[in-house]
Amino acid sequence: MHLPTVSQLSAKEKKVKIIQGEDLVRNPSKAVGETVKISGYVSHVLYKGNSVRFVILFSGKPVVLDSDDYGLINRIYVGSYVQVCGFYLKNKKLELDGKRTDMPSIVVDQPYCTN
């Protein structure tokens, strides 16, 4: 079995493409299979318990994020600032301000994304 060297691993890490939140709301299909970096202020908390579902707006367009990270759950409230990375799955239709809204859905895998 051949194990990769540290330099090979570093080279692979550098190839990770990061999509910004603004690009996600403009063209969600480009984010499929890519790491998405989302930073901004929480506009809505849709659920908070053993997991959290919250919304951040980009150019007035919502993005819904889901996480079960205990530390992140405790930091989420309307008006809090977050910077996370995750993966785009698909768009979801969720009720937001009394109406069904279609928005990109992100599963958070890095609750403190600084890339």
- Tens of pLDDT along 14-51? 456 788 877 887 888 888 878 899 899 999 999 999 99
Q: How far apart are CA 20 and CA 107, in angstroms?
A: 14
Is residue 74 predicted with pLDDT exceeding 90? yes
Within a domain: residue 7? no
CATH of the domain at 80: 2.40.50.140
Within a domain: residue 12? no
What's the pLDDT band for 5 if we cut at 50, 70, 90? low
> CA separation (Å) from 111 to 14, 25, 49, 52?
20, 20, 17, 12
Asked whether 23 and 30 are in contact (CB, 8 A), the reply is: yes
DSSP annotation of 78 reads T
Within a domain: residue 95? yes
> CA separation (Å) from 102 to 6, 8, 63?
42, 40, 9
Q: What's the domain count of the chain?
A: 1
Within a domain: residue 96? yes
- Cα torsion at 63, 21, 77, 109 (round to 10°)? 90
Within a domain: residue 63? yes
Q: Residue 25 belongs to what domain range?
A: 17-110
Q: How high does pLDDT run on average in the chain?
A: 85
* Tokens (6 digits) for 62: 């919502």
DSSP annotation of 8 reads H
